[in-house]
């Protein structure tokens, strides 16, 4: 009886892990800004619910922090430094088969929306 219960619990745990979207890989997005549109490249590697990766654009490449994947919802923070001032950009994305629909909060103004497409 104990063995069957443990097997059932193990199967359920694996089932929940299988429900998480596959976010691994590289994505590109054309992101509008006050100086025009720029290309951002996102690279992600998920291990369970934890997500690591980078955001790259014309300013360079920055590692993400607090990366989490909950089902098809991806969240992470990008910490930027300008002239000795640090600020955080919060990303929330809905992962789809061919990309991620992002909402980005820079802490000022309205959140911005854009879609990053999975690179081939």
Task: Spell out the residues 6+ positions from residue 8 whose beta carbon is closer than 8 angstroms to its own.
Answer: none
Mean predicted confidence (pLDDT) in 18-26: 82
Mean predicted confidence (pLDDT) in 42-59: 94
Rounded CA separation 7/30 (Å): 46
Task: Spell out the residues 6+ positions from residue 62 whose beta carbon is closer than 8 angstroms to its own.
Answer: 54, 55, 56, 78, 79, 80
pLDDT attached to residue 10 = 53
Rounded CA separation 23/43 (Å): 9
The model's confidence at residue 108, banded by pLDDT at 50, 70 and 90, is confident
Q: Give, for 24, the enclosing helix (H) or strand (E).
A: none
Residue boundaries of the structural domains of the chain: 21-118
Global pTM reads: 0.80
> Is the pLDDT higher at 95 or at 59?
95
Class for the domain spanning 21-118: mainly beta
Mean pLDDT for the chain overall: 86
Chain segment 66-94, per-residue pLDDT in tens? 999 999 999 999 998 888 888 899 999 99
């Amino acid at each position: 009886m104990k063995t069957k219960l443990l097997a059932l619990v193990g199967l359920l745990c694996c089932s929940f892990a299988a429900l998480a979207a596959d976010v691994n890989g590289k994505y590109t997005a054309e992101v509008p800004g006050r100086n025009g549109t720029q290309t951002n490249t996102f690279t992600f590697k998920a291990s369970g619910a934890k997500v690591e990766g980078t955001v790259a654009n014309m300013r360079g490449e920055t590692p993400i922090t607090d990366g989490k994947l909950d089902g098809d919802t991806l969240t992470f923070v990008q910490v930027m430094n300008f002239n000795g001032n640090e600020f955080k950009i919060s990303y929330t994305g809905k992962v789809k088969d061919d990309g991620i629909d992002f909402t980005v909060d820079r802490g000022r103004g309205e959140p911005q929306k854009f879609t990053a497409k999975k690179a081939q």
